[in-house]
Amino acid sequence: MIENVVKGIRWIPGRDKFLPDSHVYVIGEPESHDLSLVDCGLMEMGSYKIEALESGGIDLNHVHRLILTHTHMDHIGCLAELLAVIPHAEVWVHEAEGAFLERGDSRIVFGNKMFESMLRTQYAVDENSFTFKVHRKLTGGEILMLGGVEIEVIHLPGHSCGSIGLHNRPNKLLMSGDTIYADGAIGRYDLYSADSGELKRSLEFLSKLDLDILLPCHNRIVRSGARPMVENTVRQWSPILGD
């Protein structure tokens, strides 16, 4: 299934089972032939996303890059599956996590030892499963034109050190990764490279944005009126997150 959110931004919902699987967003106006995917999903969750792209009339030759909001397993687990089908696509990620991917350091991917042993048992994950070439390392502050859609990259450390948000100002739209969700939830801050004080600052930055549409990587999306919800969420969590 693939759904239009606004012109130039489409949504393939994740399929959570006992582990989460991130949503995928497709950026780019169809006639541009220049499409970007945002995030991939959990291990073994690549094929239905490819099917969703194809059934939505998307020519995979037009997918030029995979942008990762961060590199947790539920976002990057099927990156290799997608690259096997879209081998010409570039990988773009924040520089803080790009360095981990390039040297095959999977500590951020797994987040902690418990997840690591669980996932290594469950899936065919070997030592090199999370070594990738990163074609562009983002820093935050870039204003990109992606297939006719303006996207500003915002560095949002806290949930992980290289988490980013993608802000489309003309539509007051934010792809928030795992930093903030709908329904009052925020990203966890107990995994490797997380920092609650940084998460607090990232959330406070987001609460000042003029937002209408919130596209998190899990659960419900918000198609209008996102700002008061974001402000409430941040107000409730800030005292808990400390400095």
DSSP string spanning 112-177? SHHHHHHHHHHS---TTTT----SEEE-S--EEEETTEEEEEEE-TTSSTT-EEEEEGGGTEEEEE
Contact region with Zn ion (CB under 5 A), list: 46-54, 66-74, 121-129, 166-174: 66-74
Contact region with Zn ion (CB under 5 A), list: 47-55, 128-136, 172-180, 228-236: 172-180
**Rounded to the nearest whole angstrom, what is the least distance from the CB of residue 218 to Zn ion in the complex?**
6
**Rounded to the nearest whole angstrom, what is the least distance from the CB of residue 193 to Zn ion in the complex?**
11
Residues 39, 65 contacting (CB under 8 angstroms)? no
Residues 163, 69 contacting (CB under 8 angstroms)? yes
Residues 187, 180 contacting (CB under 8 angstroms)? yes
Contact region with Zn ion (CB under 5 A), list: 68-76, 87-95, 121-129, 230-238: 68-76
| Of residues 176-235, those binding Zn ion (CB under 5 A) | 178
Nearer to Zn ion, 81 or 178 (CB): 178
Nearer to Zn ion, 190 or 210 (CB): 190
**Rounded to the nearest whole angstrom, what is the least distance from the CB of residue 3 to Zn ion in the complex?**
19
Nearer to Zn ion, 74 or 81 (CB): 74
Contact region with Zn ion (CB under 5 A), list: 1-9, 138-146, 174-182, 204-212: 174-182
Q: How far, in Å, CA of 180 to CA of 196, rounded?
A: 13
Q: Which residue has the tokens 């925020």?
A: 186
Nearest CA to 199 among 243, 137, 154? Answer: 243
Is 97 among the residues that bind Zn ion (CB under 5 A)?
no
Write out the two tokens for 116.
């690591």
Binding site for Zn ion (CB under 5 A): 72, 74, 178
